[in-house]
Chains A and B, each alone.
Chain A
């Protein structure tokens, strides 16, 4: 007996009991839709974290100034300016695992151009900063070493700042004033979007660290000390982050002349690690969601088995007749198996449509990010088919084992 004929018999049997077939499919429909939606939501959450990692730059380690204790009052992190620009250059020079290290001085202030103004954050840094953050200059150019050495009056604008001061016009070669210091805009930074805290990373301007120290911050003490707020370090791809961190710590202790047993006067923070932990937890979350959804798929499968068993009992005489006119055991087996698989595949197809629609609806209505993947759809469809075979096999086997004479006589 050929397959097309078997398929026709199966479809006919399903049509005869429309309501029952639909209800049986419902289990699979809900299961498949749930799996697809859950995977889409899970992937969406994961993609968000991955985006944040990408916008931060990968393999980032921050070195921060330590705390100062004076008269029993312990200052917070950064209260004692212990790390210096030269620490950053030493890290760059002496540790092989480090791709780039950028010293940064941070300040806030108003930036003025003509009669427009905008309050923002400014960073004094070195050309390595853009490398560390993997931040491209989309218009104009980055800093030159001469500008770092000579406190050049130049500045790079983030997208948000440029938009607020210049609208859609090009800011290049325009002069802006930061704390009354006129600086020429030499470049426009690429868009970074929000960071993991929801802060706008494009609301920023960058200037040479010497310019920030000597001209803008304008504090004599700071100008002398060469101290910086933090050093941002990018470790080379593939290098061991832990080992790099240990070597950095060692080098800095040496440079700061700390004795054995004395506490570090700086902090080392591995930012990527925090994000990676977040990524791992969102991965676990999406696995968990998929697992819960799979349970409903499993329940749908049991529903199929249940209905097929009822159907085999109900159609015992039909099976007997088919056997009497020449159906072999495997013809009966195939017929009922095809019926079960057809149920689960049609259910699976409807479930896929619903799941895709559901994922889009969630993205639209709840504003969550969802990522539909072809893989999850194929997986769900395959799973539905497998469930049809798995849960359809037992009832089909049972049908095929009936003795023709007993099946014919069944009342």
Chain B
């Protein structure tokens, strides 16, 4: 039990639309252990994005509990959640969400800025992460000077820069062509082998196939949760 990095019990989320209450998540209970590579699947409206937002501490659940690394986070205030996101989580988004006209280095260092790290150390950490994702030569490039795949690598470096316990990737290949997608997946697999826990949302089976565990959602509930023998992305290139 205590080995689980993520533990959710009866996690629920309702959206209020006018006088209607729309349940988006109807009681999800599961554990994710440290070091896992999990793909979350499901059609739109299945609740997978809502589940991700709750895992990412970006939203408050309507019911149930969520422990992240042994800490009950479902009851924390907005600012406390911000601290949790800053210290324990890394995000990779479909549209990269990099700051325009800001160098790759500064983009990667952004979480450290809010974490209160001194500038020299920020630079050093960010450089190290960019090197890790293969962009050591592109430190001063702005997002507009980088390809989509390179931008997503910058975003991954940003997700890693604060040594998170968990990286959440929301459709990280959704805006990329298939070859670049596989490259990104190869990078995520490599990071996972290095010990980082990854939860990835996708609606593509090809992409989910690179993960070690696939959880499927439908109508706000988990309908399938199975282990998968991951395809090696590096070999597929």
CA distance A402 to B21 in the complex (A): 22
Max chain A Cβ within 10 angstroms of own Cβ: one of B87, B100, B101, B114: B114
CA distance A159 to B78 in the complex (A): 80
CA distance A105 to B93 in the complex (A): 98
**Which A residues, 203 to 239, have Cβ-Cβ distances below 8 Å to chain B?**
none
> Interface size class for chain A?
20 to 34
Partner of B101, one of A1, A12, A320: A12
A-side contacts of B46, CB under 8 Å: none
- B134-172 vs A: 1/0 string, CB under 8 Å? 000000000000000000000000100010000000000
| Nearest CB of A to B49, in Å | 9
With an 8 Å Cβ cutoff, the count of chain B residues facing the other chain is 27
CA distance A403 to B15 in the complex (A): 14
**Contact flag A325-B101 (CB < 8 Å), given A1-B113, A408-B58, A408-B93:** no
| Nearest CB of B to A178, in Å | 85
**Which B residues, 68 to 125, have Cβ-Cβ distances below 8 Å to chain A?**
78-79, 82-83, 85-87, 91, 93, 97, 99-102, 110-111, 113-116, 119
Max chain A Cβ within 10 angstroms of own Cβ: one of B97, B101, B158, B162: B97
| Nearest CB of A to B79, in Å | 5
Q: Which 6 residue pairs across A and B have the least CB separation, nearest first?
A: A326-B86, A326-B114, A325-B111, A405-B58, A328-B82, A321-B97
Known: A2-B116, A326-B115, A405-B58. 19 other contacts (CB 8 A): A1-B116, A5-B119, A12-B101, A16-B100, A320-B97, A321-B97, A321-B99, A322-B110, A323-B82, A323-B85, A324-B58, A324-B85, A325-B85, A326-B87, A327-B114, A328-B79, A329-B78, A404-B58, A404-B59
Q: Are B59 and A324 in contact (CB under 8 A)?
A: no
**Contact flag A324-B114 (CB < 8 Å), given A16-B100, A329-B79:** no
Could you pull out 10 A-B pairs where Cβ atoms are within 8 angstroms? A12-B101, A320-B97, A322-B114, A323-B82, A324-B58, A324-B97, A326-B82, A326-B83, A326-B114, A404-B58
CA distance A306 to B101 in the complex (A): 23
Closest to A326 in B: B86
Q: Are A317 and B83 in contact (CB under 8 A)?
A: no
| Nearest CB of B to A59, in Å | 66
Task: Report if A318 contacts B (CB, 8 A).
Answer: yes
